Amino acid sequence: MRRRAFLTTAVLSALATTVPPLAAAPAARAATAGATPQTRADQLLATMTPAQKEALIRCDFGALAGLGIPALSIADASAGLRGESGVTAFPVPIAQAATFDADRTAALGAAIGAEGRAKGYNNLLAPTVDLARHWHSGRQAEGMGEDPYLTGTLAATFTASMQQQGVVATVKHFAAYTQEDNRSAVDVTVSDRALHEVYQAPFRRIIATTPLTSVMMAYPKVNGTFAVQSRALFDDLKNTIGLQGHTVPDFWAGDDQVAAVRAGMDLVGLGPGGVQAPAGSITSGVGSARLDDAARRVLATMIGAGLFDNPLPAPAANVSTRAHQDLAHDLAVHGTVLLRNENAVLPLARPARIAVIGPAGTDAITGVSGSSYVDPGNWTTPLQAIRDRAGSATTVTFAQGSTGDVPLPAVPATALGPGLTVSYYAGPQPTGTPVATRTVSTIDFAQAPLSGLPPIWSARWTGTLTPTSTGLHRFSLLPSGTASLTLGGTTVVSGTRHMARFFLGPFDYPLQGTATLTAGTPVAVEVTYTNATAQYGTCGLTLGWQPDSLIPAAVAAARTADTAVVLANRTAGEDMDHTSLDLPGDQNQLIAAVAAANPRTVVVLNTDGPVAMPWLNSVAGVVQTWYGGRATGTALAAVLFGDSDPAGRLPVTFPANEAQGAGATPATYPGDGTTVAYGEDVAVGYRSYDRHGQNPLFPFGHGLSYTTFAIGDLTLAWDAAASTLTATAKVTNSGTRTGWSVVQLYAALPAAADAEPRRLVGFRKVQLAKGAGTRVTFTVTAQDLSTWQSGAWRLTPGLYTLSAGQSSRDLPVQRTVTLG
């Protein structure tokens, strides 16, 4: 109860400080009193010519003067407003999901909606509800995890409260978009059942709450047809799921805009990549009924969200209020997951000396790269936040240890002897007869290094590298294309980057590696490169290194400290799928070395998703922070020092190795270059681990508190008239301090349903004082217990087993009920 009161206050004060309450202009109110958005849309539509309707769905608002239709102004907004300053950078969506708290995502949707309006936007591209199908996904932090129920429940409150601020939300991306590799062309082969039960399910939950919203169609093809041109997907979205609002394409998606509108695309001209189809071709190509339907949907969505009645204010310079900043901190705390806490190393008991190690300053990552990146403005770095909270009796020392996931400075000519011999080749393989051979002093170019090379070319550099120091060396390649580095015949770095840097967001995305070398001992070096895999028309490569390891100094700092806190990071975002589960660069070596020097080592993972933890058993604590926006530092410090309980739980399973979970074979990720098979069907996330009896590193739903909880006394009651199952469970704080519990309810369906071993059907987050207990209630609908069979939802008659606990693998109580 206290929590609800807090949130209401937070939301209300957030709104009061940023936008005036919405109120219809008097004239509009008089003319439209009582009319539904659809009726008003129809009235307006009746006054429009076909050319005007086409102009509307092309977003050509200049051609609609006199009709009183406000122009749409859009911004990406999953974690705050991209491309703006003076806004609040909130935790990224996977951290939002880790809150397991739909009241908090409601407050977030309202805050971003309010900031969007105050900045002059009336259409915000959020939330993102693509499911984390596998750990490779470069955009996994832009979605809300692997579970459709969790994602849909959180995103539904986010969307509803965002639209209540007088903006249209655009929920993205429909559907089954789970990889960056070949994203604009790959053909996803997925069953109708997995589409409905898994990938479309979050949209269904959102649209059930907010039917008059908009949905962005995804880049890939689904079962042979671009999503933006797929009648089957539009039919699912509009007829089965019941979207009353409009659809938009992801930017530049698909290959035939007239076909897209014919299939069901409504606002075809949203954003860059706009309409290339010749004027009039949509009207003549789709027929008047479809044109009317598209235009009606666009108008109804805009009217329903209040765009006609509440003109946008003049954009303000700074819309980030104190209340929003507090909300960002609160969300980041609630999304922080304590994965391991041996010997109660946390919370830090204000030791005399703390060594902070790793990218903990301005080099700490605050957001996902790409279209969701939000400028954090003035923010407190983790190092500063730890210093601020440590108190005068604690000495905080800092050692860089590792620079984290960054490109390294170019290897200088002085290390490359007389230079490298480079041979250039026509075509993607550096074999056959070269078109030219030269000597170069280093490898560092962002455009063709030689005139006259064909559009697709490759090269091989050979020579010797003479190290100037002994020990661990870091190397990086920053290619637009595919590159490899071998030293003394051993491959040290290899891989592909479509672009060295995605055109949105501030991060490069290098390939990383390490090698142990000896000062003065030359080693043969070979680098290969092709731009065949680069964004068309681009090329580039930098061979970087860091010859002097920062690890020994970090180990020395750790040795003299009571506790070592090591931050590690990984860059992620659009175009940035991961090919390895390992932390990039020298970070695993750093953590292992620090842990060997100090048994009270706490690792802070500032990452977009799971990473391998080969050092897990030698560190005392592991904290998963994701990217917390402007609150990345303050939330971490609050949790480390125990000002706040680590209240987050994992919205994704952490695999024990790269072979676990869905997408573990080339056919299922990244596919064969044309098609990717979602062979796991509905077994995504923990469903896959459960089906195959795999033990993950950390299960879905896991997260420790600084106290402990006991869950018991599960009750079930089926209400046949309402077709709902009410479950209750008792949760008691069995530990020694106040903390947050997330009680989770899972259902196992009857064998005849041929379903996954268990699925999440409820979660409740409660704060309990030491010794206190409460009963939590879950309402499970028949739909939550159904499967999609032969084109319809079915509740299979039989025995249902409901289990409650604190993760998908910690379910101490269960009860059964027979339905149907």
Q: How many CB atoms lie within 10 A of CB 62?
A: 8
Binding residues among 66-85 for ligand BGC as defined by CB under 6 A: 76
125 binds ligand BGC (CB under 6 A): yes
Min dist CB 371 to ligand BGC, Å, is 3
Min dist CB 29 to ligand BGC, Å, is 33
List Cα–Cα distances, 301 to 36, 264, 270, in angstroms.
Answer: 11, 16, 14
DSSP bridge partners of 438: 422
Min dist CB 250 to ligand BGC, Å, is 5
758 binds ligand BGC (CB under 6 A): no
List Cα–Cα distances, 724 to 539, 778, 779, 788, in angstroms.
Answer: 58, 10, 7, 18
Q: How many CB atoms lie within 10 A of CB 202?
A: 29
215 or 396, CB closer to ligand BGC?
215
187 binds ligand BGC (CB under 6 A): no
756 binds ligand BGC (CB under 6 A): no
Under a CB-based contact definition with an 8 Å cutoff, are residues 544 and 512 in contact?
no
Site string for ligand BGC, 570-589 (x = CB under 6 A): ----x---------------
82 or 389, CB closer to ligand BGC?
82
Which tokens is 747 given? 């259902």
342 or 508, CB closer to ligand BGC?
508
Phi, psi of 775 (to 5 degrees): -105, 125
Q: Which residues of 668-695 are buried (b: 16+ CB within 10 A; e: fewer)?
A: bbbbeeeebbbbbbbbbbbbbbbbeebe
Q: Is 274 helix (H, G, I), strand (E, B) or coil?
A: coil
250 binds ligand BGC (CB under 6 A): yes
172 binds ligand BGC (CB under 6 A): yes
Binding residues among 761-820 for ligand BGC as defined by CB under 6 A: none
- The count of residues interacting with ligand BGC (CB under 6 A) is 8
Q: Which of 251, 445, 718, 793 binds ligand BGC (CB under 6 A)?
A: 251
In the complex, which residue's CB is closest to ligand BGC?
371
Min dist CB 36 to ligand BGC, Å, is 29
Min dist CB 330 to ligand BGC, Å, is 26
371 binds ligand BGC (CB under 6 A): yes
Q: Is 484 helix (H, G, I), strand (E, B) or coil?
A: strand
Q: What is the dihedral of CA 415, 416, 418, 424, to 10 degrees?
A: -160
273 or 642, CB closer to ligand BGC?
273
Binding residues among 263-302 for ligand BGC as defined by CB under 6 A: 271
> Nearest 5°: CA angle at 185, between 286 and 94?
105
227 or 298, CB closer to ligand BGC?
227
Min dist CB 179 to ligand BGC, Å, is 12
- Is 754 among the catalytic positions? no
Sequence letter at residue 37: P
499 or 662, CB closer to ligand BGC?
499
List Cα–Cα distances, 339 to 604, 613, 622, 708, in angstroms.
Answer: 10, 11, 5, 14
Min dist CB 254 to ligand BGC, Å, is 13
321 or 371, CB closer to ligand BGC?
371
Q: How many CB atoms lie within 10 A of CB 771?
A: 12
Min dist CB 143 to ligand BGC, Å, is 11
Under a CB-based contact definition with an 8 Å cutoff, are residues 143 and 234 in contact?
no
Rounded-to-integer distance, Cα 467 and Cα 521, Å: 7
Catalytic residue among 103, 250, 577, 690: 250
135 or 373, CB closer to ligand BGC?
373
226 or 778, CB closer to ligand BGC?
226
Rounded-to-integer distance, Cα 818 and Cα 784, Å: 15
The strand pair at 724-733 and 739-748 is best described as unpaired
- Going by C-beta distance under 8 Å and a sequence separation of 6 or more, which residues neighbour residue 282? 54, 57, 58, 257, 258, 261, 268, 275, 291
Place of tokens 């919405």: 22
Min dist CB 124 to ligand BGC, Å, is 10
Under a CB-based contact definition with an 8 Å cutoff, are residues 649 and 101 in contact?
no
Rounded-to-integer distance, Cα 776 and Cα 371, Å: 38
Under a CB-based contact definition with an 8 Å cutoff, are residues 210 and 156 in contact?
yes
- The DSSP letter of residue 339 is E
The catalytic residues are: 250
Q: Which residues bind ligand BGC (CB under 6 A)?
A: 76, 125, 172, 250-251, 271, 371, 574
